[in-house]
Amino acid sequence: MAEVIIVESAEAAGEIAADAIEALVGGRPDAVLGLATGSTPLTTYRALATRGHDLSRVRGFALDEYVGLEPGHPQSYYSVIQREAVVPLGLNPQLVRVPGDDGTDAGAGERYERAIEEAGGVDLQLLGIGATGHIAFNEPGSSLASSTRVKTLMHQTRIDNARFFDTLEEVPRHCITQGLGTILRARHLVLLAFGENKAVAVAAALEGPVSASTPGSVVQLHPRVTVLVDEAAASGL
Ligand code: GLP
């Protein structure tokens, strides 16, 4: 059963998520953090950055990445993670991985899974949720047991993410993403969602049937989930 906390603002949620990360890293400076991209985790990174902890031994694994963008492209998730998390938090870039950072060949997903396993698994995974109910880039229809693999992006997700690009045409059509099975192996999931356009996805994920049509519903299968939502995102609950 997920613990659902309704917060006043994205900033308040960021403080609570940062508390959880602080508690984890306080006990284990080399903890393994599951990093997310998108606008949702930004308040968490900002809150954590102001606390001035030494996070240089933390190991990080990002959820997903576009296929076809150079790592140096400003919208590649590699760049986003560098800009939003690695630099402000003082993470060691050598200890932070992004899916596909060593290629997107057929073995790439398996290598990423192995790297997570060798690190001892993810201790705390930050998660946003897309308006289609997707988590990471696991679009509706993704197998509940899936692991890291290359996927095709849904048209709606490309439209949603077009705001980060000059034109829709520039939004990649493929991605490499941790699977729902990968995400479920993390020991603590912290799912954040803000704004009215997430209300339907949040309600379906938390209260609808566990189903591949709502990938976010897999959180119902996890024993330790913290959900941080503002009033608007919670309005369908
Ligand atoms: C993208 C990412 C997801 C993210 C989702 C929501 O598709 N791949 O990991 O959760 O968008 O994005 P935002 O947080 O910007 O609403």
| Residue 155 backbone class (left: φ over 0; alpha: ψ -120 to 50; beta: rest) | alpha
pLDDT for 50 equals 97
CATH code of the domain covering residue 38: 3.40.50.1360
d(CA 83, CA 85): 6
Q: Domain total for the chain?
A: 1
40 in ligand 1 pocket by Cβ < 6 Å?
yes
pLDDT for 178 equals 98
Which residue segment(s) compose the domain that 122 sits in? 3-230
pLDDT for 42 equals 98
Is 235 within the bounds of a domain? Answer: no
- Name the residue with the closest Cα to ligand 1, atom 1: 38
Atom of ligand 1 nearest to the CA of 194: 16
pLDDT for 4 equals 98
Nearest one of 53, 148, 151 to 99, comparing CA atoms: 148
pLDDT at position 1 over 80: no
pLDDT band, very low/low/confident/very high, at 23 (cuts 50, 70, 90) = very high
| Ligand 1 pocket mutation, candidates 35, 39, 40, criterion most atoms within 8 A of CB | 40
Say which amino acid occupies 216. G
pLDDT band, very low/low/confident/very high, at 111 (cuts 50, 70, 90) = very high
pLDDT for 74 equals 96
Contacts of 49 (CB under 8 A, 6+ apart): 88, 89
pLDDT at position 140 over 90: yes
pLDDT for 121 equals 98
| Ligand 1 pocket mutation, candidates 37, 81, 129, criterion most atoms within 8 A of CB | 37
Atom of ligand 1 nearest to the CA of 40: 14
pLDDT for 107 equals 97
Is 139 within the bounds of a domain? Answer: yes
pLDDT at position 149 over 90: yes
Could you tell me the distance, in angstroms and rounded to a whole number, from the CA of residue 193 to the centre of ligand 1? 10
pLDDT at position 151 over 90: yes
Helices (H) and strands (E) in the chain, counts: 8, 10
128 in ligand 1 pocket by Cβ < 6 Å?
yes
8 A C-beta contact, residue 26 and residue 55: no
36 in ligand 1 pocket by Cβ < 6 Å?
yes
pLDDT for 3 equals 97
- Name the residue with the closest Cα to ligand 1, atom 10: 128
pLDDT for 33 equals 98
Is 237 within the bounds of a domain? Answer: no
Is 117 within the bounds of a domain? Answer: yes
Atom of ligand 1 nearest to the CA of 129: 10
| pTM of the entire predicted model | 0.97
pLDDT for 214 equals 97
Is 175 within the bounds of a domain? Answer: yes
Query: pLDDT of 72-99, one tens digit each?
Result: 999 999 999 999 999 999 999 999 999 9
What's the average model confidence in pLDDT over 142-149?
97
Nearest one of 42, 31, 38, 17 to 177, comparing CA atoms: 38
Question: Which residues, listed in sequence order, are joined to residue 145 by a DSSP beta bridge?
Answer: none
Is 236 within the bounds of a domain? Answer: no
